[in-house]
Chains A and B, each alone.
Chain A
Amino acid sequence: MSPPLHHYLILAAVLFCLGLYGVLAKRNAIVALMSVELMLAGVNLNLVAFDRYLGSRYLGQVFALFTVSVAAAEAAVGLALVIALARRRNSVDLSEFTDLSG
């Protein structure tokens, strides 16, 4: 007996909101990146759960695979930016990078 669909959707929503909190509140750029990955994971879980429960012929799983590859690209570029920042400004504290705020 598998759990009903909304259990999966709530789990995905909890992951998404934890990631949202981290993106808004964390000062370390690496933690902010991890939070973005958590939000993407929540979205992915939604796709897979809908694929299983609405019988969509693997469309959701194919979409989730593309999301994973885009998330991998995003993590690579994001961490490269963090390392470039750490090298140039000797810090990864997001609250110090306010050059563009008017």
Chain B
Amino acid sequence: MTAVFWFLAGVTVLAAAGVMALPNVFHASLCFALSFFALAGVYLTLGAEFLAAIQILIYTGAIAVIIAFAVMLTPPAIGHSNLSNRQRLWAGAVALLALGLLAGGLVPVRWPEPGPLRATSAASLGELMLTRYVVPFEVAGFILLVALIAAITVAKGALKP
């Protein structure tokens, strides 16, 4: 299990670094998909198989595809190159500082051992979503509907003066 985790974590981090480093945005979007695919594997090592399936369906299935479409629909000059701005050094310093602070706070703590792996999470999750968390569930559906209408309106150009 530990070896599987290290392999998947390595693929996730390397692919995420590829999103930042590859000069072509289309390649970066493919790396993005790979990173989220490997992250779904990490969810499997945590016994969250329903979330892993959702992750693959939504991120590598839907979001990566619309990102690839957006890359193809944008003008090629800047649209296809993965440039950095003048704040690159500062941004790197801020990110490294944040990572150092997080790691320095996380590692010394004595974390609890995991409980036994639960048999299946999909059935219990579905039941919880329709009983205890039914109001947030409906609100999430409403947010998705609003976002869908907004995305169509904005992308269609209805807001043109």
Q: Which residues of A contact B (CB under 8 A)?
A: 1-11, 13-22, 24-28, 30-31, 33-35, 37-38, 41, 45, 48-49, 51-55, 58, 61-62, 64-66, 68-77, 79-84, 86-88, 90-95
Contacts and interface: CB of A to CB of B under 8 A. Distances in A.
Q: Which 9 A-B pairs have the closest CB atoms?
A: A73-B147, A24-B91, A25-B91, A21-B95, A5-B111, A80-B151, A80-B155, A13-B102, A17-B99
Nearest to B133: A62
Interface residues of B, number: 89
Given A45-B42, A48-B51, A83-B73, 10 more contacts: A5-B111, A8-B42, A26-B83, A62-B125, A70-B140, A72-B147, A76-B150, A79-B67, A86-B73, A94-B85
Q: Is the interface of A mostly helix, strand, loop or mixed?
A: helix
Nearest to A74: B147
Contacts of A1: 1-2
B46 A52 contact: yes
A75 B151 CA distance: 9
B83 A27 contact: yes
B13 A15 contact: yes
B106 A6 contact: yes
A1 B1 CA distance: 6
Interface of B: 1-2, 5-6, 9, 12-13, 16-17, 19-20, 25, 28-29, 32, 35-36, 39, 42-43, 45-48, 50-51, 54-55, 58-59, 62-63, 66-67, 69-71, 73-75, 77-79, 81-85, 87-88, 90-92, 94-96, 98-99, 102-103, 106-107, 109, 111-115, 121, 124-125, 128-129, 133, 136, 140, 143-144, 146-148, 150-152, 154-155, 157, 159-160
Contacts of B83: 26-28, 93
A11 B150 contact: no
A65 B133 CA distance: 11
A61 to B, nearest CB: 6
Contacts of B20: 18, 21-22, 26, 31, 35
Given A20-B98, A25-B88, A77-B154, A34 B12 contact: no
15 contacts: A3-B2, A10-B102, A10-B106, A26-B83, A34-B32, A35-B20, A38-B19, A41-B36, A48-B48, A51-B46, A53-B111, A70-B140, A77-B147, A77-B151, A79-B151
